[in-house]
A = this chain, B = another copy of it.
C-alpha cells in the first residue's frame, strides 16, 4: 500500500520524477546510478558512522570542505533528515557496508544492519550541478551514455581529524576545451556540492595512471578536444573509512545517491 503511482515506460522520465517518487522506486529495488534523476533537486552522499566517531568525522568534514560539504547530520539512530524526507535505510538505490574498514557487501536495503548509535551525514554531491551544466550547454558524458560517473582515489591526502585520514577522491567529467571555463564558472557557484574543480587536465599529477580504470563507477570516454576535469567527490569519506578502519560504517554505493527534497538553487551562491 504505497500512495506513489508505479513508474512505467509511459510515465515521467528519470529527470522529471519528484524526489519522493524517485525514492519510492529505489525503495522497491531499482538499482541505478542517480545522475540525471529528479532534475533540479540536490543529491547527497551518505556516510553513517557510530556516534563514537561522529566528532572525528564532522571535524574531518570541516577540515576538508571541498570533498565533504555537510548538508545535514542526523541524531543518533535517526533514519530521515531535514533535507531528506525518506528512509535512509531503504531509499537509496544501493549501499556499501564496511566492517573494520573492509568493504564487505553492497546491498539495496540496510534496515537489518541499522544501529541506534549510527549518526548519518549527508554530504553534497556534484550530480547537483549537472542540471545547470546541461542548461548551459556543457555536455555531461555519463548522462549521455547512461553510465555511472568515473571516480578516482588520488595521491592527495585529506587533512586528518582524530582517527580519520585518507586520500581525496575525485569525480571526472570530460569537458570540451572551449567549455572548461564555463564548467568552472558554473560549478563554482555551488560550493555546497563540491564547487569548482580541484584539478583540470593532467591526471598523472593526481596520481591517476589510467583514466580507463576508475576506482569507483564506470570508465567514461575522453574524446579528442576534451579535457578531463576533476571535482572533489563525496566518496572521500568512504576512502577514509577504508584507510582508517573504524569498526562499522555504511555508505551509499558510489553514484547511487540520496535524492534530497532541496532544490539545487538553495545551494547556489551569487
Measured CB to CB, the residues of A under 8 A from B are 51, 54-55, 58-59, 62-63, 70, 73, 188, 269-270
- From B58, B63, B70, A55 is in contact (CB under 8 Å) with B58
Taking the closest CB of chain B, its distance from the CB of A186, in whole angstroms, is: 13
Would you list 13 pairs from A and B whose C-beta atoms are within 8 A, ordered by A residue? A51-B55, A54-B55, A55-B55, A55-B58, A58-B58, A58-B59, A58-B62, A59-B73, A62-B70, A62-B73, A63-B73, A188-B270, A269-B269
User: Which chain B residues border A51 with CB–CB below 8 Å?
Assistant: 55
User: Which chain B residues border A188 with CB–CB below 8 Å?
Assistant: 270
Task: From A51, A59, A269, name the one whose CB has the most chain B CB atoms within 10 angstroms.
Answer: A59
Across the interface, name the chain B residue whose C-beta is closest to A62: B70
In Å, the complex CA distance between A109 and B63 comes to 28
Taking the closest CB of chain B, its distance from the CB of A61, in whole angstroms, is: 8
Across the interface, name the chain B residue whose C-beta is closest to A76: B162
Overall SS of chain A's interface: helix
Across the interface, name the chain B residue whose C-beta is closest to A73: B59
In Å, the complex CA distance between A54 and B55 comes to 7
Across the interface, name the chain B residue whose C-beta is closest to A61: B62
Across the interface, name the chain B residue whose C-beta is closest to A159: B82
In Å, the complex CA distance between A59 and B63 comes to 14
Taking the closest CB of chain B, its distance from the CB of A174, in whole angstroms, is: 26
User: Which chain B residues border A70 with CB–CB below 8 Å?
Assistant: 62
Across the interface, name the chain B residue whose C-beta is closest to A119: B55
User: Which chain B residues border A63 with CB–CB below 8 Å?
Assistant: 73
In Å, the complex CA distance between A59 and B58 comes to 8
Taking the closest CB of chain B, its distance from the CB of A219, in whole angstroms, is: 34
Taking the closest CB of chain B, its distance from the CB of A51, in whole angstroms, is: 8
In Å, the complex CA distance between A54 and B58 comes to 10
User: Which chain B residues border A269 with CB–CB below 8 Å?
Assistant: 269
Across the interface, name the chain B residue whose C-beta is closest to A63: B73
In Å, the complex CA distance between A270 and B63 comes to 21
Taking the closest CB of chain B, its distance from the CB of A74, in whole angstroms, is: 10
User: Which chain B residues border A58 with CB–CB below 8 Å?
Assistant: 55, 58-59, 62
Taking the closest CB of chain B, its distance from the CB of A145, in whole angstroms, is: 34
User: Which chain B residues border A270 with CB–CB below 8 Å?
Assistant: 188
Taking the closest CB of chain B, its distance from the CB of A250, in whole angstroms, is: 19
Across the interface, name the chain B residue whose C-beta is closest to A189: B270
